[in-house]
Amino acid sequence: MPERKTEGTQDLNQLRKVRREKLAALMEAGENPYEIVTYDQTEHTKEIKDNYEAFEGKSVSVAGRMMSKRVMGKASFANLQDRDGNIQIYVSRDDLGDDNYKKFKKLDVGDILGVKGIVFTTKMGEKSIHAKEVTLLSKSLQILPEKFHGLTDTDIRYRQRYVDLIMNPEVKDVFIKRSKIISAIRRYLDDRDFMEVETPMLVENAGGASARPFTTHFNALDEDKKLRISLELYLKRLIVGGLERVYEIGRVFRNEGLDIKHNPEFTLMELYQAYTDYNGMMDLTEDMYRTVAQEVLGTTTIVYKGVEMDLGKPFTRMTMTEAVKKYSGVDFDEVKTVEEARALADEREIHYEDRHEIGDILNLFFDEYVEDKLIQPTFITGHPIEISPLTKKDPEHPGKVLRFEMFMNGWEMCNAYSELNDPIDQRERFKMQEAQLAKGDEEAQTTDEDFLNALEVGMPPTGGIGYGIDRWCMLFTGAEAIRDVLLFPTMKSIKE
């Protein structure tokens, strides 16, 4: 807990000492609160308040954390907070009896209580519970932050999310909404005959994306393993196996930096559908975003930091070359050699590496000039083959592939392909990746022989897509950073 002075000269250590002494006294009296294993919680506070007329005068049983207490002689008031909200509790000596009322007065803010009583309204108009019985269910030995100041230190909030959830109701609301978003996504896909599956996290070959993996050692087999960076290659194996429509929502791990949009472990959803292509994935994506927004938010208009994004309108569609030309003035359809591309990059002071080809430099221009301009939902197509090792070639546009990325708020939200199912072409692409790896590209992929074997068995024409669930949740909840939608984000260790 954050150190702070409170109650005159008493510091936190003294307050903690007092709480431990109270616990010791309870133990000595044979009243160990930690031995209680269950409590008959029949209602939640929000349910009572929202349906007050039905509950007025009725007996209820609630449980939660005491957030405040006012002792006023023979009667006291407390505020009890549970999962859904909070409610005032009226406690009197006449109802509890002398001994139990004395015990109540010794309780601390933060203690977890069970309360049985009658629902009523005070003279001040406060919907409350007139307690007939109060049970200490768990003793809090720590000191909650002052309610007036709250818990605002972001480092402490992320490290002690359990305190953050107690003190900041809006934080709890974000994670409740996140759960609803994921549930809505599952319903959408389940209703369309997709099958949810689980694939390995600990893998020999971390393929399916351009990212640096985490490596670990498996002692039992004396082998190095990697944490997956993608879900793709195993899900495609299931398409080969005839499952036709599969999806997975799960954690992936990329050994990269931390910023407002990146965390080394994050939630990815990938889905694959046999007998369709990237156009089918585009239609599905547009409809799914619109449907989930309507279900969870009650609207298809997203407002993020004051900027409106309309999911109700048809999403914009343009090629990467068109987008670069629109925002930079450079037409890469006119660029015929890598020397011309490098000269343009030099002119615009865009850094490239010796291994980069025309398509790589086109992508660098896109990153520099376009991505942050794509605020409204936009599909970008026509990616160069150099940056798309797992995608089918576009037969009408040499050097391009059948792929799209969707952008909103200047962020990449998903990435989709007409999946490459030619095992001979795929082997050549892996060779190109291996060559890039040899030239120093630590994010290049390596050859996966078992995946190639699966393709040789035969994979039908397939559309596939990957969604960043955390960014999706950021947009739909208004969260400013990815850490705000991760219950326990990655943090630098505190050195003693």
- In this prediction, residue 150 carries a pLDDT of 61
Which sign does the torsion angle of CA 113, 117, 121, 123 carry? negative
The SS3 assignment for 314 reads coil
Q: Which of 14-18, 90-94, 196-200 has the lowest mean pLDDT?
A: 14-18
Q: Nearest 10 degrees: CA dihedral of 52, 56, 61, 65? A: 50
Mean pLDDT of the 60-76 span:
96
CA distance 345 to 338: 10
What's the average model confidence in pLDDT over 350-375? 96
Percent of the chain with pLDDT over 90: 88
How far is the CA of 137 from the CAs of 42, 144, 181, 391, in angstroms?
15, 17, 33, 57
pLDDT digits (tens, 9 = 90+) for 187-221: 999 999 999 999 999 999 998 888 899 999 999 99
Helix (H, G, I), strand (E, B) or coil at 467: strand
Residue with tokens 């050097």: 399
Contact 196, 182 (CB under 8 A): no
* d(C-alpha 317, C-alpha 95), whole Å: 69
Q: Which of 6-15, 106-115, 474-483 has the lowest mean pLDDT?
A: 6-15
Q: Is the pLDDT of residue 10 over 60?
A: no
How far is the C-alpha of 287 from the C-alpha of 292, rounded, in Å? Answer: 9
| Model confidence at 350: pLDDT above 70 | yes
Residue 8 has pLDDT above 50, yes or no: no
- What is the mean predicted confidence (pLDDT) over 59-78? 96
**How many CB atoms lie under 10 A from the CB of residue 11?**
15
Q: Which of 141, 142, 109 is nearest to 1 (CA)?
A: 142
- Region of 98 please: left (phi>0), alpha (psi -120 to 50) or beta: alpha
Q: Taking the model in full, what pTM does it have?
A: 0.91
Beta strands at 86-92 and 127-138: parallel, antiparallel or unpaired: parallel
Give residue 443's pLDDT: 82
Q: The tokens of 455 are what?
A: 């393709």
Three-class SS state of 190: helix
Question: Cα separation of 415 and 406, whole Å?
Answer: 7
Quickly tell me which residue has 């002052």 as its tokens. Answer: 146
C-beta separation of 374 from 380 below 8 A? yes
Torsion of CA 429, 430, 431, 437, to 10 degrees: 120
Residue 95 near residue 123, CB atoms below 8 Å: no
Residues 412-417, mean pLDDT to the nearest whole number? 96
